[in-house]
Amino acid sequence: MSATARSDAPIYERLIRERGDVAADARRTAEATWQEVGRAMDFRLPRPITTRDAGLPFPSA
């Protein structure tokens, strides 16, 4: 059930309208973080380390 779906909890619905759906925002952030970790920890195929991976500035040509 979505937190924004109509329910028998008017106080919760009012809080969502006033403050936003914090639980849904946290869930989306956790899913995005999980996907990023999955890409960072992908050991299936070797790939070259890029300056982006190392956190270095992009080299100018």
Residue with tokens 């890029």: 50
Q: What is the pLDDT of residue 7?
A: 63
Of the listed ranges 4-13, 22-31, 33-42, the least confidently predicted one is: 4-13
Q: What is the pLDDT of residues 30-57, one digit of tens each?
A: 999 999 998 888 777 676 766 666 666 6
Integer-rounded Cα Rg, in Å, for the chain is 20
Contact 29, 23 (CB under 8 A): no
Query: Residue written as tokens 């909890």?
Result: 9
> pTM to 2 decimals?
0.48
3-state helix, strand, coil in the chain (%, to 5): 55, 0, 45
The 8 Å CB, 24+ separation contacts for 36-44 are: none
Contact 1, 7 (CB under 8 A): yes
